[in-house]
Chain A
Amino acid sequence: MQQQSIVAHIPGLRRYARALTGDAWAADDLVQDTLERACSRWRLWLAGSDLRAWLFTLMHNLFISQVRQGMTRARLVPTVDLDDVAHELRAPDAAIGFAIDLQRSLLRLPEDQRVVLLLVTMQEMSYEEVAKVTGVPVGTVMSRLSRARARMRELLDEPKERCASTDSADVTKKCAPVLRRMK
């Protein structure tokens, strides 16, 4: 039963990690690291506690520590695979185009905002659950959510053409200043 339940969380963890890192390989590495950590920390998994929240907490902590070590950005660069970007090379239909824009914009959010936005939407967690997973008060969750949504809106409203051909890893550096709106 417990075995099935942990395996059952893998697809959800992979999807979340994919959105978090924007990269299929980095995402699976993160899930693998999360499960390895679960192996070493399993004593801390209290019987009857929420398994999903526990796994997401482990993943969150790993992700944040990787970000602090500058690992995720470094890992993104060499692992871009032709198979992963093939769909971007063809003219995308509207839905795929929006998904790509969403992913690009997500990657340009500060990590703490990206985490909160994804947990609330993609993972459909309550604000209290997100507060537990990320280890911050609910008020902080709400303010990060507000900033994330406002920033996403700006990013999604920006013209995409100028960035379309740029390597995703360089988007932040090359496009951010160019696309800033003049007000």
Chain B
Amino acid sequence: MKTPMNPDEMHVLVDQLPPEAQRQALAALTLEDPEAAATLAAWLEQRAGLMELHRDVLDEAFPATLRQAAVRVTALRRSLNRSWQHAGIAAGFVLAFGVGWTSHGQLAANQAPSVIAASGMAQHEFVRQASFAHAVYLPEKRHPVEVTAAEQDHLVQWLSKRLGKPLKVPQLSAQGYELVGGRLLPGDIGARAQFMFQNEQGQRITLYLGAIAQKSAKPEAGETRFSYQADGAAPSFYWFDQDFGYALSGNVSREKLIALATLVHQQL
């Protein structure tokens, strides 16, 4: 080290050269250029300290949500090939919504009058209750849910038991929403459940589900009708599968809600 070191050389010495080279350089500089030697010593000490800083974090157990998110990235990646097979189905599904949504008139015309008459009241009541539940729990800061996503298995087991139907929590991360948790709510003829999801911006949506008092006329098996309601506390997208109802509510655009409902419906 005969010539004075420029900063870049000193960085390389500190960051990339072995300790022996660093010791030699430091010894040489101490004689030739004490000020540079002091700088080098300070930088070496900083680096040594930073190399150890929070090292204990590496051995800490980390939140399960982080592991889940990591696993999800991989799952998404793996599903690349499979997703192309489903793309056709999904596109058809979205297209069906799109057509239905273009106007309320069309939507009403598409619905069989008998179905509306037979179960209209119960369905209307279901959507109203979903809207209430959404409005009540959405702004809740401390207790938005009874059981949090951290105990997802317990949550699903518990609500499945209370609702008398095996439930599944839909995975909405593809649309940026993560499960916050869920709660049990009273309904017309038994328990209902509400799942809450939240995105990065803190925007929340809820999925309300449960049995409804269905009258004799049932939709044909395998047929699901979707409806949109924008007059409640938040826009809702709801549908009924046999005697079980689902309402997805959130202050998001209709397109976004459709995309989310598509995800929910595919998974339930």
Please tell me if B63 contacts chain A, counting CB pairs below 8 Å. Answer: yes
Is B73 touching A121 in the complex (CB atoms < 8 A)?
Answer: no
The verdict on A35 contacting chain B, using a C-beta distance below 8 Å, is yes
Given the contacts A2-B74, A103-B53, A145-B11, A36 and B173 also touching, CB distance less than 8 Å:
yes
- Residue in A3, A45, A117, A126 whose beta carbon sits within 8 Å of that of B71 in the complex: A3
Establish whether residues A35 and B49, one from each chain, have CB atoms under 8 Å apart when the complex forms: no
A34, chain B: closest CB distance, angstroms: 9
* B62: interface (CB < 8 Å): yes
Q: How far is the CA of A95 from the CA of B200 in the complex (A)?
A: 37
Contact indicator A149/B43 (Cβ below 8 Å) = yes
B66/A32 in contact, CB under 8 A: yes
- Given A15-B54, A99-B53, A7 contacting B71 (CB threshold 8 A): yes
List the B residue with the shortest CB-CB distance to A22.
B54
A14 located at the interface, meaning its Cβ lies under 8 Å from any Cβ of chain B in the complex: yes
B176 in the interface (beta carbon within 8 A):
yes
Instruction: Report how far A142 CA is from B72 CA in the complex, Å.
Output: 36
Within 8 A of A (CB), among B51-89: 51-55, 57-60, 62-63, 65-67, 69-78
Indicate whether B114 reaches chain A with its CB closer than 8 angstroms: no
Contact with A along B1-35 (1 / 0, CB 8 A): 00000011001000110000000000000000000
Chain B residues 39-53 with CB under 8 Å of chain A are 39, 42-43, 46-47, 49-53
Q: Using a Cβ–Cβ cut-off of 8 Å, how many residues does chain B contribute to the interface with A?
A: 41
With beta carbons under 8 angstroms apart, the residue of B8, B57, B73, B200 that contacts A38 is B73
- The listed residue (A7, A118, A142) touching B70 by CB distance below 8 A is A7
B56 and chain A: residue at smallest CB distance? A15
A181 to chain B, nearest CB (A): 15
Least CB distance, A88 to chain B, in whole angstroms: 14
The CA of A1 and the CA of B239, in the complex, are separated in Å by 40
Which of chain B's residues has its CB closest to A146's CB? B7
Question: Restricting to A87-136, which residues have a CB under 8 Å from any CB of B?
Answer: 95, 98-99, 102-103, 117-118, 120-122, 124, 126-127
| Residues of A with C-beta under 8 A to B53 | 19, 99, 102-103, 122
Does chain B have a CB within 8 A of A156? yes
Q: Known contacts A31-B66, A99-B49; is A142 also within 8 Å of B73 by CB?
A: no
Residues from chain B with a CB closer than 8 A to the CB of A33 are 200
Q: How far does the Cβ of B46 sit from chain A's closest Cβ, in whole Å?
A: 5
Does any Cβ of B come within 8 Å of A152's Cβ? yes
Min CB distance B148 to A, Å, is 14
CA of A6 to CA of B57, assembled, Å: 17
Which among A36, A103, A121, A156 is the interface contact of B178 at CB below 8 angstroms? A36
* Interface membership of A177, Cβ < 8 A: no
Residues A3 and B57 in contact in the complex (CB < 8 Å), given A10-B67, A39-B174, A145-B11: no
CA distance A170 to B253 in the complex (A): 40
Asked if A35 contacts B73 (CB within 8 A), the reply is yes
| Contact across chains for A12 and B58 when beta carbons are under 8 A apart | yes
Contact with B along A44-88 (1 / 0, CB 8 A): 010000000000000000000000000000000000000000000
Known A142-B8, A146-B11; judge A156-B46 contact (CB<8 A): yes
Say if the beta carbon of A28 comes within 8 Å of chain B. Answer: yes
User: Which chain A residue has the least Cβ–Cβ distance from B76?
Assistant: A42
- Given known pairs A18-B54, A35-B73, A122-B51, the reply for A7 and B67 (CB within 8 Å) is yes
Q: How far is the CA of A164 from the CA of B8 in the complex (A)?
A: 34
B79 closest partner in A (C-beta)? A42
Collect the chain B residues with CB atoms within 8 Å of residue A14's CB.
57, 60, 62, 66
Question: Which B residues lie at the A interface, using CB under 8 A?
Answer: 7-8, 11, 15-16, 39, 42-43, 46-47, 49-55, 57-60, 62-63, 65-67, 69-78, 173-174, 176, 178, 200
12 A-B residue pairs with CB within 8 Å: A9-B70, A11-B58, A11-B62, A14-B57, A35-B69, A39-B174, A40-B174, A45-B77, A95-B52, A99-B52, A102-B53, A121-B46
Besides the known contacts A14-B57, A14-B60, 6 further A-B residue pairs in the complex with CB atoms under 8 A apart: A15-B54, A19-B53, A32-B65, A121-B51, A122-B54, A156-B46
For the complex of A and B, list the 3 residue pairs with the smallest distance between their C-beta atoms, beginning with the closest. Answer: A35-B69, A3-B74, A121-B50
